[in-house]
Copies of this chain bind each other. A is one copy, B any other.
Amino acid sequence: MQPGTVSPEPDRQILRYVPFQSKVTQGFWQGLSDLKLETLRLSEDPLDILGYFAPSNYENLSPQFQIDDESFRPILPASDTPAEAARRAQHEVPGTLHNLNSIERFAAFDKQAAQRAVNQQIWQDIRSGAAEAHPQLLQRFLLFTFADLKQFKYHYWFAFPALQPPAPFTLAQPIASLVNAMGPAVAQQVAAACQSWRERAHLQPQSNGSPGERHSAWLLLLAQDGSHVTHHPLNSWQQVQQEAARQQARVLLACDDPSASERFPGWPLRNLLLLAAVRWGIQEVGVVCVRCLRGPVSAQRCLYVHAHMPSLPPGWCEPDGCPSSIGWEVGPVPGKLGPRVAELASSMDPHALAQSAVNLNLGLMRWRAAPALDLERLTATRCLLLGAGTLGCAVARTLLGWGVNSMTLVDSGRVAYSNPVRQSLFTFEDSRGGATPKAQAAADSLRCIYPHVEAEGRQLTVPMPGHPLTPAELSQAEADAAELDALVAACDVVFLLMDTREARWLPTLLAAAHGKLAINAALAFDSFLVMRHGPPPIDAGFMTSREGHPRSGRGHSAQPHRLGCYFCSDVVAPVDSTVDRPLDQMCTVARPGLAPIAGALAVEVMAAVVQHPAGIHAPALDTSGTRFGGSGGPEEECSVLGPVPHRVHGRLSGFTQHCLIGQAFSQCTACSACVVERYKQEGWGFLQHALQDPKWLEDLTGLTEVQQQAAAAAERMDLNRVGSLGSLAASDEGSEGWNAL
């Protein structure tokens, strides 16, 4: 026997207690998952949480200790008011949560140290008097967890520390029901006082409208023999004691008791008895263990415990200066201490599980790699994908990976037999009979992959310059152009993923007219181009910067220095390139690895732009580190995802990749101010002219003049072999024949 411990007095029966059984709601685990993902990330710092218990209200129900989604109230900002009615019946007590990062750290958790820390807190609160003012401090608890968010599997272990006196509390007389112990009349009065205590607290909302302080589970009763019983808070011991002496009344302790047993009280009695022994120095005390029956306090069910305190010799809790405690919960094996596991996967709705799993993976990126990532901004970006071929499918899949929730896919074709092996949203079944339109099949496929995505398919032909149209086709083209205009207006980002150069003209113009970000991807046999178009020539304030970010004085004015679009390097208007194409150009032949690479890069460029504070105005960096655009300092160069390129050129032969910068061309047939202005003013009238006669576009933009000057210069330089003006095109697309699939 160690110094300071005392053996129990041998004649008396030892007082025993029914331990808590923890009950953790699914809401708590969901809350913990969100908290870990959004806030805690890799932190293992202990957290303040809340737990709940109530007096026993039904027979044969084991004493429960509950934690739920409200348990995070001390951590989370004010959330919706909880279901108050149910809660009022429960007592809220403080706890400490240690959430650990791995199963190994869970297994190796230093339980003793954590337990000692809680012991100290309780002991401190008892000795300082804090526990009399706030008796819930007596029931502090401890919880440590490992949340395996991938498997929806939660490992946990509770402790409800009960500080140990030097010897057990004993019974001065056997435990009996309140009625048996005091007789029916007094028992009824005692029960009525307890009920009144409970109701009083309920009926006093505070002046600010919030519910009043809850009644405590621990209280004092002043019982005048044969007459009145009154209730008093725990911290009025001295007054009540004096009053009792004056009135020759008895002071009883009362304690809401979660135990339903007729023989044993519940756990909360333990620290209360210690407090009485330590703070008030009493040797014996009568305690009413308050229990209810379907609502009101039941004199029949309440127990009366007449406890005898052990003597507390000086220095009894040395060497720690604090008593030790017991209270770790038993595990799944009855009677054996150990952690428990909650597996939620099977009980949750699969759709909800999928959504939560996907959000988990996205959120994980913020833990270590990119804490500043504005995921919500990315996932809320509405994307319009023009083309649902190899590039369209690759882009859609990468967008899905980023959690982008709204996609509209546009394609005029149907799934062909050769498509599924390269176009990652289609299967053989889609190509049978050639019946399924690509846009629809792609949207359906996206929903099969992730039911929560909002994907829509539109079967639509993008009107193209230089493709002659019959009068019937002309009215269809007008309708198509109007639909496309509406689609561009309704999105945030337009992806240009078509298989001809000229199909990109109208979308480029529409993106410029509506001030939307355009991302372009195009393939040749073993090389690709991925680029973002520059900001529109006339900044009308569309989607140009993050809310609240100063746009450094840009107004509704032409911008002479800006990044170019896909057509800015051309000196001819786009014309029909499909006429007389041999088969290999019709279904553009590319190394199979190109489309997934270009599609993924297109999305990553988009992500970098969207994450940049300047959005579409983000400055560009090329491979050599040269910067274009932006008015601020070097900190403006990067988004949280790194620098934002303008044009990424890659080649599989040699596995090279470079970032280049191309300035906007004031005579561009697609994005120059005069083209955009004319479209805004004249709409279809302008388009019709441009579509039917691309040469007219060249006159309009001044390209014709540029061509003539170039031709004259060539003649002067005796470079007559340059014959065709087309060969003056400076663009690498022009010379390499970029095509998208």
Report, nearest first, the 8 A-B pairs whose CB atoms are least far apart: A401-B592, A642-B653, A593-B600, A357-B418, A357-B417, A101-B582, A369-B525, A657-B657
| A581-B657 contact given A361-B418, A401-B422, A450-B420, CB 8 Å threshold | no
What's the Cα separation between A642 and B594 when bound, in Å? 14
Given contacts A357-B418, A591-B641, A597-B597, 8 further A-B contacts (CB under 8 A): A36-B583, A104-B580, A398-B596, A420-B449, A592-B603, A642-B654, A643-B654, A650-B657
Q: Contact mask A148-159 → B, CB, 8 Å, 1/0? A: 111100000000
Residue of B350, B368, B525, B583 near A417 (CB, 8 A) is B350
- Name the B residues within 8 Å of A591 (CB-CB): 365, 604, 607, 641
What's the Cα separation between A417 and B102 when bound, in Å? 20
The reply to whether A427 and B449 contact each other, CB–CB distance below 8 Å, is yes
What's the Cα separation between A579 and B353 when bound, in Å? 26
In this complex, the member of A417, A427, A601 whose beta carbon has the largest number of chain B beta carbons within 10 angstroms is A417
Q: Does A586 contact B (CB under 8 A)?
A: yes
Q: Which of A15-42 contact B (CB under 8 A)?
A: 36, 41-42
Q: How many copies does the complex hold?
A: 2
A626 to chain B minimum Cβ distance, whole angstroms, is 13
Q: Does A400 contact B (CB under 8 A)?
A: yes
What's the Cα separation between A623 and B656 when bound, in Å? 7
Residue of B104, B369, B448 near A428 (CB, 8 A) is B448
The reply to whether A102 and B418 contact each other, CB–CB distance below 8 Å, is no
* A449: nearest chain-B partner, CB-CB: B420
Q: Does A345 contact B (CB under 8 A)?
A: yes
Q: Does A322 contact B (CB under 8 A)?
A: no
Q: Does A442 contact B (CB under 8 A)?
A: no
Q: Does A431 contact B (CB under 8 A)?
A: yes
- Name the B residues within 8 Å of A402 (CB-CB): 592
What's the Cα separation between A151 and B415 when bound, in Å? 11
What's the Cα separation between A367 and B588 when bound, in Å? 12
* A431: nearest chain-B partner, CB-CB: B354
- Name the B residues within 8 Å of A428 (CB-CB): 350-351, 354, 448-451
* A432: nearest chain-B partner, CB-CB: B350
The reply to whether A421 and B449 contact each other, CB–CB distance below 8 Å, is yes
Q: Does A178 contact B (CB under 8 A)?
A: no
The reply to whether B601 and A599 contact each other, CB–CB distance below 8 Å, is no
A35 to chain B minimum Cβ distance, whole angstroms, is 13
The reply to whether A42 and B582 contact each other, CB–CB distance below 8 Å, is yes
What's the Cα separation between A568 and B495 when bound, in Å? 42
* A360: nearest chain-B partner, CB-CB: B418
What's the Cα separation between A596 and B418 when bound, in Å? 20
Q: Contact mask A91-111 → B, CB, 8 Å, 1/0? A: 000000000011011000000
The reply to whether A369 and B643 contact each other, CB–CB distance below 8 Å, is no
- Name the B residues within 8 Å of A403 (CB-CB): 421
